[in-house]
Structures are given as structure tokens and as C-alpha cells.
């Protein structure tokens, strides 16, 4: 995971002068409501993360935070909107791997993921898990690799759509193991999971939180998590890396950013607020309960490094796999 809590830069009790905020600045800003933009519809993982964060951030900033939903284009619509907003700190964006590191490799987007945003805080990673239909004679990753190599044209894997982190997890797996399996994209996670349980597809890469109840009920079998460390909610399931695919890591993440060129006092205040929010045990408990790992804001430059790294990494995977968006 990119960060741990010991890397948190900002002390929760930091005084305004310690952050470079002149008293006048600290007392005059903020003086209006914030808007937090989300690139997806209500009810999903991004919505849950945003709602959890803003409940505490409102208290710390003393102003309401309104959630604005701008779904479409894998989050690129919301990201592009925020990139064009004034640099006054009142428009924030809950960024994720898709809009910042995947979609820019698949289509032209109206923003530069690195240059057009001010990093405010990494939130955490949303782990994925490799699943198989219970009737498939596979209990671990080495077994899956053997099966795929024995019959390279026979098996399929599902994802929540073309260009999704779930598809890229599957394509990275294929590239690193020298195996073949045909990708079947679905319009969302629910139908993908339904067909896995029905045996229409045999393998899936899915977000842990919504799959957890199905794993516990034995309706799907978990054989490996995609993160570098084991997931808190699936402690008995080894990582794919520790099962012989050294260096494998397909970990989607969330982060908070604002438009580029935020004035230093405003950026520092927002970064401090993120650090305080993610140090709150109640906030951490809710996020972890819903599948987030590695919760800690880290240093702003670390978030920039993560975005750069994943832009390059997923760009190579997309190019090698020949992935293209439809239409």
C-alpha cells in the first residue's frame, strides 16, 4: 500500500501559524459551502467514501459540504469539471484510479491528471479479489495458472466493464503469468457476479466489500487478493503475489484533490483537514468496514507519485492487451 499512518504529515492539533496561515487568512477562509464532486452515481463505493469523509470534514472546516454527482466516462466528466473550477478551494474531487490513471490511457480527457490538480490526501485502497465458480476445480492461484495453461482457450473471466480496474487486474494477471482467458465485460458488478455464480463465466476479479457475503456463503470461492498485503476482511486468503506471482499488484485507490494552483494556505488547511479526518477512529472504522485498506493521507507529493506510477503502469497493460473502449 502506498502509505501507512506513520507517514501522516499533518498533526491534528496543528495551529494556524504552524501551517503558514496568517490569522486573518485562517479566520476569513472558509466562508461558504464546499462542493465535493463524485464521478459516479449514488450508492456505489465512491459515494460511500465521500459521505463518510464529508461528515467529519464539515465539522473541522465549519462549513457544509455538498455532494455533487457527475457520473460518466469512468469519472472523467467530474474530474474535468473540477479541473476547470477557480482555485479557491471550494470545489473538491474524490479522485480514483479510474479517472486519474486508467481512463486517460483509453481516451482523450479534458485534464492532465498530474498538472491540473492539487493533491490534498490519499484516502485508501479498495482491494480486489480473484474469484472462481465453486464448481471449478481450483483452490488457489497456482491451481488456476495450471488450469489456464492446460486449456488456454476454454475459460472466461468477468469484470464490471471495459477499462475497469477489474478488467485490468485480469489482464495484468494474464501478462504476468503467461496465461489466457477471455474477458467478458458486464454493465456493472452485479450482473458480472450473477453470471459467475451461475457458471456462465468461471473466473472474476471483483471488489471485496460487495463480494464478501457471497464468499462467506460459499456461492463463489476466493483464491487470491490483488493487493500487496492481505485484506483485513479476508485475512485467510493469500495475496496473488505471495502465491508465486511476484510483484503482482492491482489495487484501486481513492484520494481527494482540488484544482491546480490552490494558494498554499488553503491547500495546507485542506491537507490538514484530510489528515485529521483520516486519523479519526470512527471514520477509519467505517471505511475499513466497507473494504478500504491502508487509510492515511501521506504527503501530497506521495499522492502525485502514485498517480504518475499508475498512469505509466496501466498504460503499459492497456497497450499490451490492446484494450479499446467501445464507441
Q: Are residues 211 and 256 in the same domain?
A: no
Q: Considering Cα of 161, then 162, then 165, then 169, what sign does the dihedral take?
A: positive
Indicate whether 327 belongs to any domain: no
Confidence of residue 1 (pLDDT cuts 50, 70, 90): very low
Q: Select from 227, 243, 259 the last residue of a domain.
A: 243
pLDDT digits (tens, 9 = 90+) for 203-248: 999 988 889 999 999 999 999 999 999 998 899 999 999 999 999 9
pLDDT score of 94: 98
Which of 25-34, 71-80, 191-200, 246-255 shows the lowest mean pLDDT across its residues? 25-34
Does the structure show a pLDDT above 50 at 166? yes
Q: Select from 183, 216, 243 the last residue of a domain.
A: 243
Domain count, the chain: 2
Q: Are residues 162 and 23 in the same domain?
A: no
Q: Are residues 287 and 144 in the same domain?
A: no
Find the CATH number of the domain harbouring 202. 3.40.190.10
How many Å apart are CA 158 and CA 108, to the nearest integer? 26
Rg (CA), the chain: 20
Q: Are residues 100 and 162 in the same domain?
A: no
Q: Tell me whether strands 117-126 and 292-293 are parallel, antiparallel or unpaired.
A: antiparallel
Confidence of residue 41 (pLDDT cuts 50, 70, 90): confident
Q: Select from 200, 224, 243 the last residue of a domain.
A: 243
pLDDT score of 23: 38
Indicate whether 216 belongs to any domain: yes
Element (H, E) at 233: none
pLDDT digits (tens, 9 = 90+) for 290-310: 889 889 878 888 999 999 999
Q: What is the DSSP string of 121-162?
A: EEEEEE-EEEEE-TTSS--SHHHHHHHHHHSTTT-EEEESST
pLDDT digits (tens, 9 = 90+) for 261-271: 999 999 999 99
pLDDT score of 16: 38
Indicate whether 222 belongs to any domain: yes
What are the grid coordinates assigned to 1, written together?
500500500
CA distances to 68, 159, 223, 262, 272 from 136, in Å: 43, 18, 11, 53, 49
How large is the angle between the packed helices 208-216 and 189-198, nearest 10 degrees?
Answer: 30
Q: Which of 295, 131, 284, 149 lies closest to 213 in space, CA to CA?
A: 131
Provide the residue range defining the domain that includes 183: 128-243
What are the grid coordinates assigned to 105, written together?
490511457
pLDDT score of 21: 41
Does the structure show a pLDDT above 90 at 13? no
Does the structure show a pLDDT above 60 at 27? no
pLDDT score of 77: 96
Q: Are residues 11 and 121 in the same domain?
A: yes
Indicate whether 121 belongs to any domain: yes
Find the CATH number of the domain harbouring 50. 3.40.190.150
Indicate whether 107 belongs to any domain: yes
Indicate whether 326 belongs to any domain: no
Q: Are residues 38 and 115 in the same domain?
A: yes
Segment 83-94 shows an average pLDDT of 98
Indicate whether 193 belongs to any domain: yes
Q: Are residues 76 and 210 in the same domain?
A: no
pLDDT score of 7: 41
pLDDT score of 12: 38
Q: Are residues 120 and 158 in the same domain?
A: no
Confidence of residue 2 (pLDDT cuts 50, 70, 90): low
Mean pLDDT over each residue of the chain, to the nearest integer: 90
pTM of the model: 0.87
pLDDT score of 11: 35
Does the structure show a pLDDT above 60 at 3? no
Q: Are residues 89 and 109 in the same domain?
A: yes
Indicate whether 89 belongs to any domain: yes
Q: Are residues 69 and 177 in the same domain?
A: no
Q: Are residues 97 and 13 in the same domain?
A: yes
Q: Are residues 30 and 76 in the same domain?
A: yes
Does the structure show a pLDDT above 90 at 18? no
Burial of 50: CB neighbours in 10 Å, binned 0-12, 13-18, 19+: buried
Amino acid at each position: 500500500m502506498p502509505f501507512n499512518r506513520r507517514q501522516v504529515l499533518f498533526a491534528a492539533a496543528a495551529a494556524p501559524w504552524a501551517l503558514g496561515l496568517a490569522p486573518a487568512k485562517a479566520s476569513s477562509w472558509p466562508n461558504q459551502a464546499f462542493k465535493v464532486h463524485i464521478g459516479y452515481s449514488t450508492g456505489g463505493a465512491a459515494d460511500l467514501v465521500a459521505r463518510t469523509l464529508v461528515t467529519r470534514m464539515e465539522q473541522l472546516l465549519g462549513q457544509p459540504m455538498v455532494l455533487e454527482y457527475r457520473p460518466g466516462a469512468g469519472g472523467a466528466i467530474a474530474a474535468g469539471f473540477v479541473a476547470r473550477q477557480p482555485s479557491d478551494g471550494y470545489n473538491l474531487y474524490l479522485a480514483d484510479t479510474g479517472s486519474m490513471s486508467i481512463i486517460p490511457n483509453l481516451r482523450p480527457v479534458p485534464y492532465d491528471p498530474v498538472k491540473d490538480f492539487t493533491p490534498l490526501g490519499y484516502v485508501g485502497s479498495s482491494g480486489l479479489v480473484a474469484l472462481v465458480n465453486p464448481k471449478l476445480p481450483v483452490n488457489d492461484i497456482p491451481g488456476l495458472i495450471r488450469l489456464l495453461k492446460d486449456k488456454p482457450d476454454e475459460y472466461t473471466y468477468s469484470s464490471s466493464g471495459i477499462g475497469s480496474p477489474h478488467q485490468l487486474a485480469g489482464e495484468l494477471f494474464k501478462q504476468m503469468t503467461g496465461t489466457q482467458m477471455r474477458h467478458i465485460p458486464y454493465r456493472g458488478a452485479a450482473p458480472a457476479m450473477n453470471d459467475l455464480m451461475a457458471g456462465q463465466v468461471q473466473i472474476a476479479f471483483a471488489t471485496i466489500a460487495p463480494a464478501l457475503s457471497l464468499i462467506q456463503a460459499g456461492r463463489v470461492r476466493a483464491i487470491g487478493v490483488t493487493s500487496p498485503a492481505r485484506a483485513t476482511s479476508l485475512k485467510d486468503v493469500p495475496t496473488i503475489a505471495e502465491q508465486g506471482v511476484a510483484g503482482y499488484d492491482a489495487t484501486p485507490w481513492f484520494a481527494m484533490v482540488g484544482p491546480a494552483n490552490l494558494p498554499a494556505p488553503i491547500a495546507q488547511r485542506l491537507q490538514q483537514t484530510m489528515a485529521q479526518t483520516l486519523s479519526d477512529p470512527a471514520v477509519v472504522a467505517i471505511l475499513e468496514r466497507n473494504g478500504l485498506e491502508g487509510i492515511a493521507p501521506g504527503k501530497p507529493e506521495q499522492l502525485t507519485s502514485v498517480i504518475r506510477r499508475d498512469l505509466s503502469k496501466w498504460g503499459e497493460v492497456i497497450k499490451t492487451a490492446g484494450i479499446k473502449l467501445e464507441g
